[in-house]
Structures are given as C-alpha cells and as structure tokens.
C-alpha cells in the first residue's frame, strides 16, 4: 500500500478514527498490530510470513539471551539470531546476484555449468525490519535493553506500519517505552482525552505528512521524467547534461525518500509516537562525515553503533580506522541492493570519509581553521562536498556499466559543450524550475530549522489554508498514476 494513494489515506483515517472513538484498555495496541499486518499483507501477500518469522525468532531468542547465565550461551544465541536474520536477508536479496557472479566466473574460466536464476521476489521492507530486530537482540546482549514483556508488544515494534516498509529504522529502546507509556495512560486515565492520538501532536504530525507528500508528489515525481530522459541512454550526452541529471536525481531521491520518512514520522506522531529525524538538510553538509550525519540518519547511526564501533571504530590505528570506514560503507552500499552499482556507490562514500579523516589527521590545523567557519569558507566546503555527493548518485542511478563509466567520466572531465544541454533544459522547463525552487526552499528550511513546528503552530484558519494549498498544488501537477517510492526496492 503506497502512501501516495487514496487507499492509504482511507486506511490511515479509519485507523485514527477508530482509535479516537474506542478507548478500551489495550484496544489501540491490538488495532495497530492488526492494521500493521493488514498494511503489509496488502503490499506483500504471503511474504508476511517472513515478517512473522523474524518476529518470533528474535522475541524468543531475546528472552533466552536475557536469561542466559554464561557469556558463551549468550554469544551462541546472538549468533543464532544474526544467522537467521542475515541468512533470510541474504537469500532473498542476494541469492540471484551471487548466482550471476558465479555463472560469470564459470563462463570466463570454463569450469562450471551455468546455474539457473531463481528469480526470487524481494520482500518489501525486509532490509529495514531485519535491521530493527537485529538491533533488538544485540542491545539485549549488551545489557542495555530488557526483552519485550509480551509477544504482542514486540510484534507491534517490528510491524508498526508507518515505518515498516522504508524506515526510518527505529530501535526497540526508543519505541517500547513509548508504547508502554500509552498503555499506562489507557489504564490510568478515565477522561475523554485521546490515548494514542494526542492533540498536541496532531497538527505537527499532519503538517509533517503534508511536507512529505509535497516532497514526493510535487518535487520528486515531476523531476523524475528529466532524470529518466538523461540517464535512460546517457552515452553521447554532454558533461553539463550529465551534471544536470546527477543534480536532478539527487533532488529526486531526496524528495522521494525524505518525503516517505516525513510521512512515516508524521503518521507516527499523529498516533502519539515520536520517531527520530531521518534527514537534516543533507545538501548543506560541509564534509563527507557531515553529510552522513544528515542523510538517512537512522541507517548511518545503525551502521555506526552495530558495525563501525564493533570493528574498532577509530580506537585503533589510523590505517585500521580508514579500513573500517571503507568496510562500513561497502556493506552500507550492498545493503541498498544486490548490484555492483551500489557497491561502487558505497566505496566512493567510504573513500570520501577515509580521505577526509586522513586529511584532518595529517593536517590537524584544518580542524579548527577559522576560514572554514566563515560564510565563504562554508560555501566552498558545501560546494566541494555536494560535487562529490552528486557524483555518487550517478552510480546509484545508472545501471549499465558502460553508461556508468561514461557518465562519471563526463561528470569529472567537463567538456564544456552546451548545445544538447540547452535543448534538454528547453524541453524540461518545469523540472528545471523545480530544481531551482527546491534549492531555494532547502535554503529556507536550513535557515529555519523549526519550520514545520512554526507552521503547525499557525492559527487553525491559517493552518487549514496551508493544508488546502498543499493539496491543491499536488493535485494540479499529479499525473494520476502513483509512483513507487525508490527505497521500496531496498
């Protein structure tokens, strides 16, 4: 069920409406769990069995880890959890990719018969809920989280529908206390105040959802045709055309993914849950490390806490630190999909992070250099960082190897021809206008970090005008066919 469909609007309205009217103890909990399973089944049918398997596996293993007396038994149980989760993820996401690589090697060296491709269907959201359940068992193993009190409680944590399909990646230590607080309120509060749908959060959540729909349906979906025109067959295109395509795709994927995150976080807020921010003006990042503090924050923090730090982080030698950064971003790229494109994307970001740290290590005076704190210094840092970031988006978007190498070469070695670029701009004026408008609004939101909060604080009449204007703007430019979210494929 796509967020950008009338089916979701009806579904979400019904869930909120029923919770608002019916206030029996634990009813909201049961309804949200049932609604979440319905939401997933609507999109994935029988593949809901994988979600249930992950839920049962980590619920019971989590309990056993907590009860285990010896470190050895705890480790065995944790390895069992990791094997089950990563084995499931690996099979459904990477089996066909592995077969293709094996067949390629076999044909190259003529040492094996070709293995038939399995054509496995990728379960929607498996990368996200797998990481959520892994964090649960690891946190119990580390002793920083107690196991969930009931299976129903844990099942809702895993399946909660707003962020189930494409994040943000929520951790049990953040979600479960909020759920328990809602249930305690349900037991102790006999007034007519809403239990899960809290008035103070309602306007903020709806406002954030409106921003999400605007990013996805107005910006991302209307910029997509320009991206498709450039990168469907980039061979022979000019450098400025490739650069335009890279910038356009960077905005498209930001509007698409951060739009989904805003809708998910806003929907959770309407239901009374606070989720962590997943994007924070990433195209104003002043360094590669700053970019990853702003982009897909729930994933980057997950990789830091459950992969980078266990590998040694920056606590060992400088060389090991650079290697750890490369390994983390390599696996982060591979997490996005079974393709060499994502590996290249991850390795590029890993090399940026390692090179940035290497420079700061070798020239420590740069860490506190006053020039980079000036307006000109920040602008230069932003331009350099974003030039490198948009280069990586080419690897994320262009699948064909020859086209990828050509596009990246044209991006780096600029040929300064403009004839074809001007022609593409002239036939895609609206998309180019949206690119300019996006950067203008991105700058406004950068200068006003509490913009959503300010708008949600408008008087009711002005707030309704904002919502109505957003709806009309989206509908006026809506093609009539809801576009998939890019991160659904991950």
| Model pTM score | 0.90
Q: In which residue ranges of the chain is pLDDT below 70?
A: 23-25, 112, 183-200, 371, 480, 489-490
Query: How many whole angstroms separate alpha carbon 165 and alpha carbon 126?
Result: 8
Kindly report, residue by residue over 386-406, the tens digit of the pLDDT. Answer: 999 999 999 999 988 899 999
Catalytic sites, residue numbers: 336
Instruction: Give the whole-angstrom CA distance, residue 248 versus residue 239.
Output: 14
* Rounded-to-integer distance, Cα 139 and Cα 309, Å: 14
- Helix ranges restricted to H, 68-216: 71-109, 126-142, 151-159, 172-188, 199-213
**CA terminus-to-terminus distance, the chain:** 16
Please give the full DSSP string across 40-74, using - where no structure is assigned: HHHHHGGGHHHHHHHHHHHHHHHHHHHH--SHHHH
User: 173-187, pLDDT tens digit by residue?
Assistant: 999 888 877 766 654
Which pLDDT score is estimated for 72?
A: 92
Element of type H or E holding 223: helix 221-231
C-alpha 175/C-alpha 158 separation (Å) is: 10
Residue 435: CB atoms within 10 A of its CB come to 20
Contact by Cβ (8 Å): 373, 364: no
DSSP character at residue 325: H
CB 12 within 8 A of CB 267: yes
Instruction: List the one residue out of 316, 262, 317 whose CA is nearest residue 456.
Output: 262
Residues in the chain: 490
Q: What is the pLDDT of residue 102?
A: 83
Q: In the prediction, which pLDDT does 189 show?
A: 47
Q: Do 139 and 152 contact (CB within 8 A), yes or no?
A: no
Alpha helices in 337-428 (DSSP H): 340-362, 375-397, 401-412, 419-427
Give the pLDDT confidence score for residue 489 in this predicted structure. Answer: 67
R_g of the chain, CA atoms, integer Å: 24
Distance CA 17, CA 196 (A): 11
Residue ranges covered by each domain of the chain: 6-195, 200-489
Rounding to the nearest 10 degrees, give the CA dihedral for residues 186, 188, 191, 197: -30
Residue 263 tokens read as 């809708």
Q: How far apart are CA 220 and CA 256, in angstroms?
A: 6
Report the C-alpha gap between 412 and 218 in whole angstroms: 30
* Coil, helix or strand at residue 196: coil
């Amino acid at each position: 069920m796509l967020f950008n469909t009338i089916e979701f609007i009806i579904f979400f309205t019904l869930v909120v409406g029923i919770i608002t009217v019916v206030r029996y103890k634990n009813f909201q909990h049961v309804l949200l769990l049932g609604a979440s399973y319905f939401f997933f089944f609507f999109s994935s049918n029988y593949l809901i069995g994988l979600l249930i398997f992950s839920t049962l596996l980590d619920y019971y293993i989590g309990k056993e880890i907590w009860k285990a007396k010896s470190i050895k038994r705890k480790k065995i149980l944790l390895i069992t959890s990791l094997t089950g989760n990563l084995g499931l993820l690996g099979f459904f996401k990477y089996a066909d990719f592995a077969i293709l690589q094996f067949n390629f090697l076999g044909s190259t060296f003529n040492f094996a018969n070709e293995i038939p491709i399995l054509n496995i269907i990728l379960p929607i959201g498996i990368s996200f809920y797998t990481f959520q359940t892994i964090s649960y068992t690891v946190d119990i193993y580390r002793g920083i989280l107690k196991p969930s009190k009931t299976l129903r409680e844990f099942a809702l944590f895993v399946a909660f529908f707003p962020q189930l399909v494409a994040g943000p990646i929520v951790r049990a230590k953040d979600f479960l206390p909020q759920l328990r607080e809602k249930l305690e309120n349900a037991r102790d509060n006999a007034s007519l105040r809403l239990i899960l749908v809290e008035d103070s959060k309602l306007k903020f959540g709806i406002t954030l959802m409106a921003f999400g729909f605007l990013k996805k349906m107005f910006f991302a979906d209307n910029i997509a045709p320009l991206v498709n025109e450039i990168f469907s067959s980039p061979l022979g295109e000019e450098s400025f055309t490739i650069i335009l395509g890279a910038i356009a795709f960077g905005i498209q994927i930001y509007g698409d993914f951060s739009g989904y995150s805003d809708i998910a976080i806003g929907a959770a807020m309407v239901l009374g849950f606070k989720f962590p921010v997943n994007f924070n003006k990433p195209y104003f990042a002043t360094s590669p490390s700053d970019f990853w503090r702003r982009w897909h924050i729930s994933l980057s923090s997950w990789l830091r806490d459950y992969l980078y730090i266990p590998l040694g982080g920056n606590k060992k030698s400088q060389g090991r630190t650079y290697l750890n950064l490369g390994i983390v971003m390599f696996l982060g790229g591979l997490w996005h999909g079974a393709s060499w494109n994502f590996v290249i994307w991850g390795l590029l970001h890993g090399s940026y992070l390692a090179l940035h740290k290497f420079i700061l290590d070798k020239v420590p005076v740069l860490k506190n250099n006053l020039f980079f704190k000036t307006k000109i210094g920040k602008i230069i840092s932003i331009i350099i960082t974003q030039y490198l970031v948009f280069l990586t988006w080419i690897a994320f978007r262009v699948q064909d190897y020859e086209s990828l190498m050509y596009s990246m070469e044209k991006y780096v070695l600029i040929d300064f021809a403009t004839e074809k670029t001007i022609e593409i701009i002239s036939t895609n004026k609206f998309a180019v206008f949206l690119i300019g408008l996006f950067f203008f609004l991105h700058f406004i939101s950068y200068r006003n970090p509490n913009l959503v909060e300010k708008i949600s604080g408008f008087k009711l009449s002005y707030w309704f005008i904002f919502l109505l204007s957003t709806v009309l703007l989206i509908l006026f430019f809506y093609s009539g066919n809801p576009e998939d979210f890019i991160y659904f494929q991950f």
